[in-house]
A = this chain, B = another copy of it.
Amino acid sequence: MNAPPIQRLVTELAKLPGIGNRTAQRLAFHILRTDAEEANALADAIREVKERIGLCEVCFNLADGPRCRICLDERRDASLICVVEEPGDVIPIERTHEFPGRYHVLGGALSPIDGVDPEDLKIAQLYVRVTATDAPGIREVVLATNPTTTGEATALHIADGLRERAPEITVTRLASGLPVGSDLEYADEVTLGRAFAGRRAV
């Protein structure tokens, strides 16, 4: 019953992750209610992001120039590299203000079932980056892939590769354990097992 332009907008909105048909309908009606200026600001932002954002030539994070803001920032410790799966993983880490180094974005995780092999990720580029003769002495690579099957497999694969090519570099993995503020009663056994294995003296 929607007019075709409305239906088109609903269809396009429903392609976004986590947006079902009803939510798309609601968003479309919201866009119809707002003034044209605001709606067009959203349309322009979408176009602009596709036109102006590419990948950083060093770390493959999203960038609006040849290099991303973090790689351009001289204050960031270039001897410390944090390896993540997706550009979106950089944001939560930055929010912690705990990591002073730079990043390397793989573009996914190894998953042979889905046809994602090492060549599909920026793994070779990581090896080049840490072994380059003009590279700043890299001390440590933190493997911050997700604590999932594919993330763990990716971390193990890269840890092996780094040990082979640059045995002097420390390779670490983010700690796994109970989330802060959680309750033992509701912890799954794998997480609880990890929390035990990683227990620390207080």
Partner-B contacts on A (CB < 8 A): 1-6, 8-9, 11-13, 15-19, 23, 25-32, 36, 38-53, 62-64, 68-70, 86-88, 90-91, 94
B residues less than 8 Å from A47 (CB atoms): 39-40, 43
Copies of this chain: 2
Q: A3-B62, A4-B64, A69-B1 are in contact. Are A87 and B30 (CB under 8 A)?
A: no
Q: Are the CB atoms of B49 and A5 closer together than 8 Å?
A: yes
Q: Are the CB atoms of B3 and A69 closer together than 8 Å?
A: yes
Q: Is the interface of A mostly helix, strand, loop or mixed?
A: helix
Docked CA distance A19–B27 (Å): 9
For A86, the closest partner residue in chain B by CB is B29
Interface hub of A17, A46, A69 (most chain B Cβ within 10 A): A46
Docked CA distance A86–B33 (Å): 10
Docked CA distance A34–B32 (Å): 25
- Pick the contact of A64: B3, B62, B88 (CB < 8 A): B3
